[in-house]
Amino acid sequence: MYCLIAVCLAFVVTYFFRERVNVFLLQPFKKVMPSGSSFIFTGVTEAFLTYFKIWILTAVTVASPMIIYQMWMFVAPGLYEKERRYVYPLILWGSFSFAVGVFFCYAIVMPHLYRFFVSYASDFVIPMPDLKGYVSLTLKLLIVFGFLFELPLVAYFLAKAGIINYRFLAKKRRYAILGAFVLSAIITPPDPVSQIVVAVPLWGLYELSVVIARFFGKKETADGQA
């Protein structure tokens, strides 16, 4: 009930600033649109439902501190005191990492991505993107990059629990680099610059995870076991 109330209150605030929220999400593509282009919608209710989806997700994001707190209050009685100490840093750094990933996608990835798509426009082919399709793609990209930037935090807790160590991560480095470029090729257009812009930070996140695992992981004993 508290989560529902928080989301409803956040939705009221979001609805009050709905124009700014809409402009913020449409801005990456609007900047690269040629003159005469515009978003379109084909269904009678499509535009309203698409904007409503944006407002709901924004409201959930705004209300996320209350949602996370209520989840914590639910699981806290089943945790040891030592385990409880990790929760607040997890929430803090998890939220920060997710926000950095979203910002990276919004400010760096999407401009390159949409500029490449628009480059196929001509005097005879004018881009008039579907509003629903654009919003769905943009939200997916923001969420995916938000979770990708959680990788160092995941590595920290796995290393702290002794599930992985920096030697294991270092040994799998070549596969991680390959995976970063494969993932960038999937989520970006066939443009080398865009793929490098995405793949290099992902590789950097993996290297950061190796460093974190080395300094914060369980210490190894003389026989090499954690």
State residue 160 phi and psi, 5-degree precision.
-65, -35
Rg of the chain over all Cα atoms, to the nearest angstrom: 21
List of the chain residues with pLDDT < 50: 222-223
Give residue 225's pLDDT.
Answer: 52
Give residue 218's pLDDT.
Answer: 66
Give residue 83's pLDDT.
Answer: 67
Rounded to two decimals, the pTM is 0.77
**Which candidate, 184, 220, 222, places its Cα nearest to that of 202?**
184
The CA angle 150-182-205, to the nearest 5 degrees, is 30
Contact 97, 149 (CB under 8 A): yes
Per DSSP, the chain holds a count of helices (H) and strands (E) of: 12, 0
Q: Tokens 């698409």 sit at which residue?
A: 50
Give residue 220's pLDDT.
Answer: 58
In whole angstroms, what is the distance from residue 97 CA to residue 148 CA? 9
Give residue 222's pLDDT.
Answer: 46
